[in-house]
A = this chain, B = another copy of it.
Amino acid sequence: MKRTFITIKDIARELSISASTVSRALKDHPDISQETKDRVVAYAREMGYQPNSIALSLKSRQSHVIGLIVPEIVHHFFSSVISGIDEVASKAGYNVIISQSNESFEREIHNTRTLLGSRVDGMLISRTKETVDYDHFRHIDAAGVPMVFFDRTCEGVNADNVIIDDKKAAFDATEYLINTGCKKIVHLKGPENLTISHQRLTGYRQALEKHAIPYKSAYVIEADNYEKGVNAVRRLLSEHNLPDAIFTVNDLTALGAISALKEGGIKIPDQVSVVGFTNGVISRLSDPPLTTIEQNGFLMGEKAAKLLLERINNEEELPSRTEVIPTKLIVRKSTY
């Protein structure tokens, strides 16, 4: 299977003109006579000439490629982000090279090296949970390649960040529960070592505080996946410690909670309201449909790509910016 790409030289030889004339004719340069242009364009089209962007990249020192590193592709949130990135990038004439770190620090480092070798014009990164050392990112910056972090930021690295306001989102969710009459609100929180867990917990506490509801540590339980959600709620039920609302760190955990509640014969939302976080596909389709926080991954991807393109196309050093993607409470049938 051998490649058969026609080049500018081929066209030049065939039409007995020089390569530079062909090049100019192809880009409608004013110096070239209409007749020559017509001949060149006609022949190029006939032969299906496709400019070699590798040669262009080498010449212009611009690859028109954006490097992307995500922890996992198979994840509704991240794939939404990727989709948003692709949308903006392709419109601007950029290609996207994708790579996943699989939450492995080693792989993340390897990915940055590869992308640097590919001379990507910029990188979009969501770091792994493991990543605590940012030298590889500083190295990218030192090479003069702009970066934008999304969802998971890196303090102290010269780059833009795109995040959501976790604290406010959690506050909104909790306040909504309070406003619909709930007083005993359990929070199923995320792992200690993630910033989002803290932020969301803080938003929850602030809402309670505002409405003079005492904070009870027994009502905050670590659970961030389906199974843990099931177990946490089963325990509450067995202790006859039924709350009137549950606010979870993500949708899957909420579904686990709902499953355990149903199992215990508890009516949702009549006896217990449930609010999730993310607004993934599943939240719309669960039974009952889940009230949740919309965390717009597509928008985050679009925004991150736009910030990156701005940086790429700006000669001057821009100051580090942090963009906050708005969230929204989506009320469905798991609450009043």
Contacts and interface: CB of A to CB of B under 8 A. Distances in A.
A83 B102 CA distance: 10
Interface string A50-62: 1111110110010
A95 B79 contact: no
A167 to B, nearest CB: 27
A267 interface: no
A82 B76 contact: no
Interface stretch (A10-18, A34-42, A112-120, A178-186): A112-120
Interface string A116-147: 11110000000000000000000100111110
A286 to B, nearest CB: 7
A74 B83 contact: yes
Interface string A294-335: 000010000000000001101111100000000000000000
A311 B2 CA distance: 11
A132 B140 CA distance: 44
A317 B50 CA distance: 23
A61 B3 contact: yes
B99 A50 contact: no
A143 to B, nearest CB: 6
Given A48-B139, A54-B118, A96-B98, A1 B113 contact: no
Contact of A99 (B2, B86, B145): B86
A298 B102 CA distance: 14
Contacts of A58: 52, 54-55, 58
Interface of A: 1-5, 48, 50-55, 57-58, 61, 63, 65, 72-76, 79-80, 82-83, 86, 90, 95-100, 111, 113-114, 116-119, 139, 142-146, 226, 252, 255, 259, 262, 281-282, 285-287, 298, 311-312, 314-318
A113 B287 CA distance: 45
16 contacts: A4-B143, A5-B143, A48-B142, A48-B143, A50-B143, A52-B58, A55-B58, A58-B58, A74-B80, A74-B298, A75-B79, A76-B281, A90-B114, A96-B98, A282-B285, A286-B287
B61 A119 contact: no
A38 B89 CA distance: 42
Nearest to A316: B1
A86 B281 CA distance: 24
A317 B114 CA distance: 31
